[in-house]
Structure 1
């Protein structure tokens, strides 16, 4: 089977494609592929690997040799699944590869915010400790995670990994039920209770029509003024204008975003052009430890192997 990787540049150069290459007769990799280039580059492919390149009905109709699309991510919104079914093209994705990476990112950011190590290092670098009249230079101080309440919205493998670490820090964990749910499941709390009581609110749910703009002005107004919001899921979960207003008005204390509604964002993106001091933004890297990237690509290789054997492992088109 001939395979084409349409956007290899979405991964680090430090990871290996050996497990994928082992499953195909030929593997052609492109760093990035524009929409106008997809058909030409994919004509001979029986397997297409894509992270973010869109494959719609118009494109799939022109690829008669294509048998399998491997999404090198969990999200499937860049593939027209109905069209894939109509053209008898199997589609797989991968999941569960980034739980350690995302959980580590969440707590790296929380420790940075509550312990402020860079601030305390700078105090010594700039000679302030050396001039202190006391043995201890408090500076901005620090605050413990122990005893704080972390509200988790989305309790799949990522949310569960965050909860596990939170328990180790001695935190109170609240798992949110879906908004407007008729019944609150065992070991969960209502969405409204979670947003009101959480010291830290962390998002790990998928983007769906029901979750778009989940965090809006109303939700932000009900959160504690000392609360921290973390989004490592999808940018569209948060209404960015509402968040900017809330931060500027100190309706919440701090926000940490690893995702935005547009990626990569334009230079004049609302939150970048007007970024307040109580907002930290990183470039969608919470998932991307080297180990997580390697697990993901190895799972793509496993999906190809399973398909060749007639198995339906990780199929999303069925």
Structure 2
């Protein structure tokens, strides 16, 4: 009999159906769990389901029965994987579920910002159409996606899918070579060239020690074409204070942000202040969260658990992810 504990069920939406695993088990669900509560709630559990709850070495050392940590997300930085490797605790994650939802959200931000959808809507509600006295008005610039150069930072499945969609729009996708690295092959455009020549830059890379603060004032000052910056990846990739300075100085024309550091951001934070600007759109880390994608995630999560118990584990994470 396996004891399964889901520490943060509320990180999946209310319309998601989480089927019960097909083996003998008990299941406890908590909507929210703090790091300090994790050890007590996982006592006696052989399988932990988490999304963003931190499981440190100190916490894991109190859980001798734990055999599997099933992460209901792709990123596993919330788990001390070195401890898990040393003590025989398997860690499994979710893969490939966001191939439609994240790119679609990315393009929703691009389109809304390039065409100034929100400012036009606000002006229309404020009576500008009637005051214009004609069939339309031109308070804001409108720019097509077709013909624009799209700098893509991150060449994984999401970056590749964004490039595919970009080509359908008639855009010119450019995969940025890794910062400070040359000679990576024909897929890549040099890092500096991507920054200098892109009309839009979109981030699709993981947050690692190497990519933390990837975009700051040095990079913003290289952006000669005043691009839009889109971030649906991780908040720590962009220095938020520098993003504010870049917008103030007109180094970029706007920003579409779905991720922040921390999450949620404090009400008086830089990013919340920026969200009030007409050329900034802030969404609450929901690029991944279409109903279809969440259900795919939930089904894969239970698949991972069932496969582990059956002796054929899937999506195991080895070392750092």
TM-score (norm 2): 0.92
SS at match of 2:221: helix
Distance 1:16 1:23 in 2: 18
TM-fit CA distance, 1:224: 2.7
- Contiguous gaps of at least 5 residues in structure 1: none
Deviates more, 1:142-151 or 1:223-232: 223-232
Q: Against the structure 1 CA distance between its residues 205 and 17, is the aligned structure 2 distance closer, same or farther, given a 3 Å change threshold?
A: same
TM-fit CA distance, 1:184: 3.0
Cα distance per residue 1:197-236 (max 9 Å; x no partner): 1100000000111111110111100113431001111111
Q: Against the structure 1 CA distance between its residues 90 and 182, is the aligned structure 2 distance closer, same or farther, given a 3 Å change threshold?
A: same
Distance 2:194 2:302 in 1: 40
TM-fit CA distance, 1:8: 0.6
User: How many pairs align?
Assistant: 317
Q: Against the structure 1 CA distance between its residues 191 and 45, is the aligned structure 2 distance closer, same or farther, given a 3 Å change threshold?
A: same
Cα distance per residue 1:233-267 (max 9 Å; x no partner): 11111111111111111111111111112111112
| Contact 1:184/1:190 (<8 A) preserved | no
Distance 1:279 1:138 in 2: 19
Distance 1:60 1:108 in 2: 41
SS at match of 1:99: coil
Distance 1:200 1:138 in 2: 22
| Contact 1:148/1:172 (<8 A) preserved | yes
Counterparts of 1:262-273 in structure 2 under 5 Å? 262-273=262-273
Deviates more, 1:95-104 or 1:109-118: 109-118
TM-fit CA distance, 1:6: 0.3
CA RMSD of aligned residues (A): 1.9
- Contiguous gaps of at least 5 residues in structure 2: none
Counterparts of 1:28-107 in structure 2 under 5 Å? 28-107=28-107
SS at match of 1:205: coil
Q: Does 1:13 align with 2:3?
A: no
Match of 2:300 in 1: 299
Deviates more, 1:272-281 or 1:166-175: 272-281
Q: Against the structure 1 CA distance between its residues 23 and 283, is the aligned structure 2 distance closer, same or farther, given a 3 Å change threshold?
A: farther
TM-fit CA distance, 1:126: 5.0
